[in-house]
Structure 1
Amino acid sequence: MYEIFEKLCAENGVTPYRVCKETGITTASISNWKAGRYTPKQDKLQKIADFFGVSIEYLMTGEEKEGGERYYLNEETAEMAQTLFGNRNLRVLFDAAKDASPEDLKTTYDMLMALKKKERGENEF
């Protein structure tokens, strides 16, 4: 299973150390996982899966279930989201939701929807 983690790191151009820094998982946890001493607990697996934009199932098996739900509908969007997530300066887009008020989230949502409409030519500002 650690091999899938290594593969995801290589595909995304990140080091295990960076994954640890970005997710709050200790390097000792990753080292123990690599050495086969234990498998990370569910919460840590979820943090790693979220970091890479994959499911825990994919992280564990390297495969997605047929018809499995994906967070992003297409690969290009998933890649762009990962790029944004990996960029410390742009990460605010993800971090803002942690303690934002419902009104702030609604405003952000409305702005994003307006941008999508503009992109499709449905709405001009």
Structure 2
Amino acid sequence: MGLVERIKLLCDEKKTNFAEVERNIGISNGQIRRWNTSTPGTDKLEMVADYFDVSVDYLLGRTDKKRYYDLTEKDERDIERDLERILNSAESELGLASFDGRVLDEMDQEDRELYITSLRNALRLHKRLAKKKFTPKKYR
């Protein structure tokens, strides 16, 4: 998939079009379409990447990861490991085991799933924010 096709997908996701993107970032009308046959400057690529909050590498097709702070498979495995450790700790220690005044084992299945999903989402959010905040600029 080429550069223009990736930008088209991003436009579709954001429900916009090339003309609006070009107006908003300040490049000439029809410029993005011409990138099928010519090579854009790095400054223009950076402006488009910033507009869509994606990496330049994603635009160029070097990676399928849109943002540097997106979670990888390793991050997901780490989150699941941390979640399991928290749940094991919660089941063994009564102080962490209460949820709405009940022990984890006493919860019905729906409440238990909601509790686990909430913890998993909190861990994911924390991991993304940490990556966003602490990733050195040279790796972005």
* Superposition TM-score, scaled by structure 1 size: 0.49
Larger relative contact order (CA 8 Å, sep ≥ 6): 2
Which structure has the larger Rg?
Answer: 2
